[in-house]
Structure 1
């Protein structure tokens, strides 16, 4: 699989995650979201940017429970809960948000 944006090709694995994490940019996130009929809002970007920072620090994409807890600590309790995260990423905050953030699929996600 591959994603074509502005003449640049981004390789994807069979589930749509970027193969080269370093090739990620905001246009890639927007295109990946558009494939799933999601329009990224500031709330989405808060979580996407949080995930990228988390990955940079720990070199792992957090599973949903860890993500929920970490978001709550950083962005506040109203954002650090499953209901809020699923409202933004209905296919699963871990899987879907990590895909848009250009990160590998979190361990423990089916």
Structure 2
């Protein structure tokens, strides 16, 4: 298993995590984990200062080798919300107010 010092030395040479991974025989996401102590999946949240102190890159999910997809909406979710609204009087009233507001704009 590569050490943090090995990863840090290669990072100091200006190598990208993908290249470091190729040289050390490990995935780029693991390079990030070893080098920073932070998983590349974004499961840890840090302040800007903590990111700087740890050397954490901003967006690193791509290092995991899986496509990053962040849909802004899903029709199945909208359908579920419509069904819930239809079943709840308070939600129906809120939807009615929302519709009136949108018509007034």
* TM-score normalised to structure 2 length: 0.30
Higher relative CO (Cα under 8 Å, sequence separation at least 6) belongs to: 1
Kindly indicate which of the two structures has a greater share of residues assigned to helix.
2
Structure whose residues are more often strand by fraction: 1
Scaled by the length of structure 1, the TM-score of the pair is: 0.29
